[in-house]
Amino acid sequence: MRVISGNQKGLPLKAVPGQSTRPTTDKVKESIFNMVGPYFEGGLMLDLYGGSGSIAIEALSRGMDQAIIVDRDKKAIETIYSNLKFCKLLERAEVFRAESSRALKALQKNDRKLDFIFLDPPYKKHRLQEEITFIDEYHLLTDTGVIVVESDALVNLEDTYGNLKMIKFEQYGDTKISIFEKDGRG
């Protein structure tokens, strides 16, 4: 696992020890950023199931200003800090050990607006419909923002959730990537 592009290109990233996480492969990661960027001109991103921090680090390397990374697993949080420190990105990231629903409520309470949201929950324990609906209802996404969902290929997501519309999806083996943005964004 490595940083694929941007300022930190080529830097190796540690995986979370054990079997508690399923890292996004470099191939899928590269495809995600090709679909939504591939580069950014600033902004705030959220990785709600941080794992190793790989997606947030990639987004920061490609021009995001700040990242909020959340995970509930202690080993994941330790790995995220280690990877951020190695990539010299600690000052551009906020890392929280929390459940996804608590993190979303905290973002809503603090009126945080996000330009890029990445949702990659455990495939068997996802609450994607509820989380996407919450993001829409509480206007956590900026008008030009994007949500990227990584899920099991068998997960059926709706085409729309309130004002959010699926604009693209791709499948890579047993992994599906779905992209949402605000409807009518132009």
CATH number for the domain spanning 165: value is 3.40.50.150
**How many independent structural domains does the chain possess?**
1
- CA-to-CA distance for 147 and 160, rounded, in angstroms? 12
The confidence score (pLDDT) of residue 50 equals: 95
pTM of the model: 0.94
The confidence score (pLDDT) of residue 20 equals: 63
The confidence score (pLDDT) of residue 185 equals: 64
- 130-164 tens-digit pLDDT: 999 999 999 999 999 999 999 988 999 999 999 99
Sheet with 66-71, strands from edge to edge, namely 93-97, 66-71, 44-47, 114-119, 141-152, 175-182, 164-172, 160-161
Asked whether residue 10 is assigned to any structural domain, the reply reads no
The confidence score (pLDDT) of residue 27 equals: 83
Q: Is the predicted pLDDT of residue 168 greater than 90, yes or no?
A: yes
Lowest-confidence region among 7-11, 28-32, 104-108: 28-32
Asked whether residue 122 is assigned to any structural domain, the reply reads yes
Asked whether residue 15 is assigned to any structural domain, the reply reads no
Asked whether residue 11 is assigned to any structural domain, the reply reads no
- CA-to-CA distance for 24 and 2, rounded, in angstroms? 11
The number of helix segments (H) and strand segments (E) in the chain equals: 5, 8
Domain extent at residue 111: 26-182
Asked whether residue 13 is assigned to any structural domain, the reply reads no
Asked whether residue 159 is assigned to any structural domain, the reply reads yes
The confidence score (pLDDT) of residue 107 equals: 96
Asked whether residue 59 is assigned to any structural domain, the reply reads yes
Asked whether residue 16 is assigned to any structural domain, the reply reads no
- 37-96 tens-digit pLDDT: 889 999 999 999 999 999 999 999 999 999 999 999 999 999 999 999 999 999 999 999
For range 15-20, the mean pLDDT: 80
